Every structure is written in C-alpha cells, then in structure tokens.
Amino acid sequence: MTTEPHFTVEIAHNRYLAPGAGEIDAVINVATTETGARLPTAAQVIMLDCSASMYRPSKLAAAKRAASAAIDALRDDTAFAVVAGTDQVAMVYPEAPELAEVDEHTRAAAKEAIDAVQAGGGTAMSQWLQLAGELLASSRREVRHAILLTDGRNTSEPHADLANTLAELRGAFSCDCRGVGTDWEVGELREIADALLGTIDIVAEPEDLAADFRALAENAMRKMVPDVTLRLWTPQHAEVTMLRQVDPTLVDLTGHGTKPQPQLTDYLTGAWEHESRAYHARIALTPAGVGERMLACRIAVLDGDGTNLGAGKVLATWTDDPARYGALDTQVAHYTGQQELAEAIQAGLDARRVGDLDTATGKLGRAVALAEESGHTDASRLLSKIVDIDDSARGQVRLKPTVTAVDEMTLDTRSVVTTRMHRSAG
C-alpha cells in the first residue's frame, strides 16, 4: 500500500512587535514524512570537464571512474546521458543528443564510451549547462538532476554567458557541482549550485571522486517529491523582503520568487527526499495599534501539480510590553548567527587573498567566535587550519603564515553549510 507524501511546517518566531514596528522575522521549518509512495521517474545528466587541464592521467582516469560509479548507482529505467565539456560541448553517451534508459546494455556501452574520452580545449560551462538543460527538458521524467565536474575556471567565455544561461535554466533541473583539485573558482561553482538548487563541494584528491559521484547519484534516486514550491501569501500592505534557506545550507532565494497573484510569491525548492530544511523569512508590514493582531504570512508547500502538502502561519501582535516584544526567538537568533558566520568566513578569506591582514584577522576571529557560540564544530575545525586560535570565545586569533590551497578552498566551499539546533514551534 502506498501513501501520498506529506510535509510538516513549523514556524519559529516572536509574534510580539513593539508599537510602530513594521518588520517580523520567522524561521520556517519544513520536513517530509516517510511514506510508501511510489518513487518518481528520474533523469540524470553527468557533465565531465574534459579540458586540457584534465589531461593529467590520474585526474582524467578518476573522472571516468566517477562517472561510471554514478551510472552504476542509477535505477534501471532512469534516463541518462554523459556529456564532455570543454570550450565546446559534446555527447559522450549516447552519441545522439538524447537520453538513454539505464539497463545492463546501456551501462556497459556508456562505460565504454567514457573510457574513450580524451582531454583538450578550454572551459565554457554555459554550453555544458545548455546541453544538459536541453537533454533533461526532452525527458518526461519527474526528477531532473545533473552533476557537473570541473578542475578549472570558466575562462573560455564571458561571465555574462554563464549568468544568462543560469537565469534561463533556474527551476529546470537541479545540479550538484564538484571541483577537483585547487585550480577552480569557488564563486563560479557556488553561482551555478545556488541558481540550480544544488550543492557545491571540493574533492581535493581525484581518487575520492568515485565515492562522491556515487553518493550524489544515490541521493538523486531517493527523491520522493519533485518540483516542490514554497508559497508565501501576505496581506495587502505587506511583503516578503527576504527569504533564505538556512538549513542544511545557506541559499539566498530573495528576488527569485515569482508572483502568480499580487499577494502570492512562489519559491522553487527542487525535489525532496525524506529530509528537513529551514528558511528564514522577513516580512515588512504596516504597523497596527497596540493589542491588534494580524496574519502576517501564510505558508504553503505545493507539489508540481499545485497540491497543498503542508501549511503554516506567521502571526503578529503589537504590544507595549517590552518583556514580550524584546525577546528574540532562539531559532531566528541561531540562523541569523549562521548567516553572519558564513559572511565572516568569506569576507575574511577575501581580505586574506588581497593582503588586507587586519581585516582578515578580524573577520576570521569573529567567525571563530560565532562557530564556538553555535556549536558548529565542523566550521571550528576548518577555521583552525587557517588561523591559530588563542581564545575562541572572544575570537582572538592569529593568521597562520602558511595555508594550503586545499584548506582555504575547503573552508570557503563549506562556509555555507550550517549547523542545526533543536527545533520547537514558536
């Protein structure tokens, strides 16, 4: 017996506002419940960087093994393709620009085609993504997922080409990005992953690629609900001024919503497995009188057909009691701190790269203190490879004189991974 997927929505916020206050913050906790529902059909495109810099035998061989491992992890009947990306783009398997269905024969044929791939040329990622988008759009599969691997920077095209392509493809499919080695640009892959609702990570050693690709493909196969939308309704004279995913990673969705009606804003969140995510919403509203109540925002979780899978409300009440309006909700405080932590890490690393050591020390020291305060042990561990910590609680640090590129890029890449706190509805 199968059951339809269901989402729970819990809101954490301080509903009480001071007289004249016109802004309210809330953390929206969304989770799927385990069901026996039929898994949706899926399509997968693997984009391999085959530029000249991949020529180093261990790197190209590892990429080939990784692609084969991902194919092995796909369910039978999954639609798939493998693409070779340089300053142009070419099909690896199948030969025609179309998707094949996974079975024993196509797995073997794809691996044979992958083994024959040679490296050469530059890097133009917009072309890779455009072909992936065309292939996935041609499929009627419900979950559309891509993996992009690169070892270098997007140097063979203007940045505008990539930005325009991402704007066109937003919502068309999800894309997990991986950089192998240390010669690629974190900001470029983060831009792709954020726009296409995927993840970004560094794989420092080529031999670790296969396990990573296998895990990405397995994760795609676990998706239960495709094309999930977070819909926020606000009353007249109110609007959503910020929406950010804050758990498990930071993704700024502000400005990327669509408005099917004047008071509705829809935010694409991609496909979901059995998981939970959290979003930080900020709503501007017209202040009301002391004692008055308002429904500031109504949240709905919708599937691709518009079916409501879960709902929640953000309420506002104006009061002249400082004990009520002065209390900051613990979840809002926690995730605000996680956003500040990521910003401090990235600003500190940027300052370090340009030789502004005072700013770097201050920002990275602040990051150490925030990581300590929030219990973000992974961030603390990564920061300790960049700075010597004298007092973590006070953020007193000294820049290490020598830092490896791997340690710097790992901290930068994973700065957007947050730590979760105990959740309770507010």
Span 53-87, pLDDT tens digits: 998 768 999 999 999 999 999 999 999 999 999 99
- Chain region(s) in the chain for CATH 2.60.40.3670: 7-37+225-320
The pLDDT score that the predictor gives to residue 3 is 60
- CATH number attached to the domain at 7-37+225-320: 2.60.40.3670
For the domain made up of 42-221, give the CATH fold: Rossmann fold (3.40.50)
Q: Which long-range contacts (CB under 8 A, 24 or more apart) does 383-387 make?
A: 383/345, 383/411, 385/410, 385/411, 386/349, 386/352, 386/411, 387/361
Q: Does domain 331-416 have CATH number 1.10.150.530?
A: no
The pLDDT score that the predictor gives to residue 131 is 99
The pLDDT score that the predictor gives to residue 419 is 96
Q: Which residue type occupies 374?
A: S
Q: With contact defined as beta carbons under 8 Å apart, do 123 and 85 qualify? A: yes
The pLDDT score that the predictor gives to residue 178 is 98
The pLDDT score that the predictor gives to residue 1 is 42
Q: What pTM was computed for the model?
A: 0.95
- Chain region(s) in the chain for CATH 3.40.50.410: 42-221
- Report the distance separating Cα 346 and Cα 367, nearest Å: 10
The pLDDT score that the predictor gives to residue 423 is 47
In Å, how far from its chain's centre is CA 15?
29
Closest-CA residue to 330 (of 49, 91, 26)? 26
Tens of pLDDT along the chain (426 residues) come to: 456 678 999 999 999 999 999 999 999 999 998 766 789 999 999 999 999 999 876 899 999 999 999 999 999 999 999 999 999 999 999 999 999 999 999 999 999 999 999 999 999 999 999 999 999 999 999 999 999 999 999 999 999 999 999 999 999 999 999 999 999 999 999 999 999 999 999 999 999 999 999 999 999 999 999 999 999 999 998 999 999 999 999 999 999 999 999 999 999 999 999 999 999 999 999 999 999 999 999 999 999 999 999 999 999 999 999 999 999 999 999 999 999 999 999 999 999 999 999 999 999 999 999 999 999 999 999 999 999 999 999 999 999 999 999 999 999 999 999 998 754 433
- Chain region(s) in the chain for CATH 1.20.120.1690: 331-416
The pLDDT score that the predictor gives to residue 369 is 98
The pLDDT score that the predictor gives to residue 277 is 98
Q: 278 is written with which tokens?
A: 């959290």
The pLDDT score that the predictor gives to residue 422 is 53
